[in-house]
């Protein structure tokens, strides 16, 4: 557990070097959430910086080692060889369905996606590149795309621990960064910030991912800074990149997520798992050496996500566009994406129902100009009780990461349910 600093990078690479499995954790997550994650993986040792040592201890980690870069010296451990199918990293994700669980990414998965990026001139990093390292390294986008690809190419990463549009713009300009990867809300913030128009003059590749890129953001970024903003699509379970408009020639088509990266197969299938007709939408399935082998100690969830012949069911509905790329048209799952982070409604609903005043709850995503999507909660009071939304918000903050907490509460007298009793969230969406 660490921010985007040298301690994280050294520790992560050291764990892999000695044959361990790295499990990056969110340093801003509440103790209750960390405790659930720690309990699910039973770690052998934990590395933490500064005050985070106590946080991990409170989360139930018995052995916590503080990272002190100044005390590392020049000691170097012997390398432990690992096979491609050995697990390298566990990353917590809401996945294609269900509450957060640990996705297993093997050495082969990570290396394959790095090769897939480096094998195409549109995405390739060079040894002369300097990438912005502000995407959190406990998220696969920051970990394997920004950090992994940069280091594999022999390039550099400018480490930034917290995103601030003005401060980060200064880093980009002063250090002459050439590659900027971010989520849509970051690019929107730069457009709106008081920063010079030539801030991104050294940038040759700007890529947005982890959430849908609004056309107004892509157009606004190009108009304001003179840099084309590319859209990518990926999942933690694919290590992560599946498609990118950076693989296309010319300006990226609005709304497109581009074609698949080299070595990745995609299919669009109907509810029976058969390929849809040309031009029809279908669930996007992905297969390739970058696709994960499953979730840590969760056979049931793994079988839901992967077909017997290795196709990853993404839960996203797509169609082939006129330019030969893919375009997302719907989400078959109820996943909410807040600033690029996955929020699964069930997890938030379970926390809400733990409050003594709440009889039932439903959570959906709603558009947000700041975070792309925001979490909206519809709550039903226990008979005879009154719901204090401020108290409910404090209750959520103690159990959930900040981005998972509802930004809006609405007290209702009933929730939409099917005859089977299943919650029908789509009736609550704006």
Give pLDDT tens digits for 327-349: 887 666 677 889 988 787 878 88
Burial class of residue 423, CB neighbours in 10 A (0-12, 13-18, 19+): buried
Strands (E), 187-321: 205-208, 229-234, 241-244, 265-269, 282-287, 294-295, 312-320
Residues 226, 241 contacting (CB under 8 angstroms): no
Instruction: Name the segment(s) of the chain with CATH classification 3.30.300.30.
Output: 336-427
pTM comes to 0.82
Q: Answer yes or no: is pLDDT of 55 > 80.
A: yes
What does each C-alpha distance from 339 to 118, 209, 402 come to in angstroms?
26, 10, 11
What is the CB neighbour count within 10 angstroms for residue 412? 14
The per-residue pLDDT for 375 is 95
Quote the mean pLDDT of the chain: 90
pLDDT (0 to 100) of residue 95: 53
Q: Which band of pLDDT confidence, cut at 50, 70 and 90, is reported for residue 418?
A: low
Mean pLDDT, to the nearest integer, of 139-150?
A: 96
Residue 306 CA to residue 311 CA, distance in Å, equals 5
Residues carrying CATH 3.40.50.12780, the chain: 105-331
Distance CA 352, CA 185 (A): 27
Question: Which pLDDT band, with edges at 50, 70 and 90, does 74 fall under?
Answer: confident
Element (H, E) at 118: helix 107-118
| Band (172; pLDDT cuts 50, 70, 90) | very high
Measured at the CA of 351, the angle between CA 349 and CA 357, to 5 degrees, comes to 90
Q: What's the topology of domain 105-331? A: Rossmann fold (3.40.50)
- The pLDDT assigned to 334 comes to 75
DSSP 197: T
Output the pLDDT for position 322: 81
pLDDT of 120 strictly over 80: yes
Domain 336-427 has CATH 3.20.190.10: no
Q: Do residues 5 and 49 lie in contact, with contact meaning Cβ atoms separated by under 8 Å?
A: yes
Q: 298: pLDDT confidence band, cut at 50, 70 and 90?
A: very high
How many Cα neighbours within 13 Å face the side chain of 357?
13
Model pLDDT for residues 370-402, shown as the tens digit of each residue: 898 999 999 999 889 999 999 999 999 999 999
CA 350 to chain centre: 22
Q: What is the pLDDT of residues 13-50, one digit of tens each?
A: 999 999 999 999 999 888 988 999 999 998 988 888 88
Per-residue pLDDT, averaged over 84-99, amounts to: 80
Check whether 247 has a pLDDT greater than 80: yes
Neighbours of 256 (CB within 10 A): 23
pLDDT at 420 over 50: no
User: Who wins on pLDDT, 48 or 292?
Assistant: 292
């Amino acid at each position: 557990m660490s921010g985007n600093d040298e301690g994280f990078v050294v520790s992560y690479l050291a764990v892999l070097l000695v044959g361990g499995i790295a499990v990056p954790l969110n340093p801003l997550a509440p103790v209750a959430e960390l405790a659930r994650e720690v309990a699910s993986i039973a770690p052998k040792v934990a590395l933490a910086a500064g005050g985070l040592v106590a946080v991990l201890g409170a989360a139930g980690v018995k052995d916590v080692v503080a990272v002190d870069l100044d005390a590392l010296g020049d000691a170097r451990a012997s390398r432990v060889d690992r096979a491609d199918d050995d697990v390298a990293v566990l990353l917590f994700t809401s996945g294609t369905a269900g509450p957060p669980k640990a996705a297993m990414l093997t050495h082969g998965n990570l290396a394959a996606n790095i090769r897939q990026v480096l094998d195409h001139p549109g995405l390739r990093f060079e040894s002369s590149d300097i990438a912005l390292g502000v995407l959190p390294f406990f998220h696969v986008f920051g970990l394997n795309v920004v950090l992994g690809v940069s280091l594999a190419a022999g390039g550099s990463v400018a480490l930034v621990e917290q995103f601030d549009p003005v401060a980060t713009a200064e880093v980009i300009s002063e250090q002459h960064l050439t590659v900027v990867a971010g989520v849509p809300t970051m690019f929107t913030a730069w457009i709106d910030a008081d920063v010079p128009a030539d801030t991104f003059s050294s940038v040759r590749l700007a890529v947005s991912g982890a959430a849908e890129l609004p056309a107004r953001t892509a157009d606004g970024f190009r108009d304001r800074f003179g840099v084309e903003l590319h859209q990518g699509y990926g999942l933690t379970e694919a290590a992560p990149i599946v498609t990118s408009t950076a693989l296309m020639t010319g300006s990226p088509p609005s709304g497109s997520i581009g074609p698949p990266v080299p070595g990745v197969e995609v299919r669009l299938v109907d509810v029976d798992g058969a390929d849809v007709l040309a031009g029809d939408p279908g669930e996007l399935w992905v297969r390739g050496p970058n696709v994960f082998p499953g979730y840590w100690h969760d056979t049931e969830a793994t079988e839901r996500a992967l077909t017997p012949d290795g196709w990853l069911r993404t839960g996203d509905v797509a169609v082939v566009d006129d330019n030969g790329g893919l375009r997302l048209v719907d989400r078959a799952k109820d996943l909410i994406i807040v600033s690029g982070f996955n929020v699964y409604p069930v997890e938030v609903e379970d926390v809400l129902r733990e409050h003594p005043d709440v009889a039932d709850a439903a959570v959906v995503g709603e558009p947000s100009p700041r975070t792309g999507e925001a979490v909206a909660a519809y709550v039903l009071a226990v008979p005879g009780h009154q719901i204090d939304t401020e108290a409910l918000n404090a209750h959520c903050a103690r159990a959930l990461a900040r981005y998972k907490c509802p930004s809006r509460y609405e007290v209702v007298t009933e929730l939409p349910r099917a005859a089977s009793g299943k919650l029908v969230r789509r009736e609550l969406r704006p």
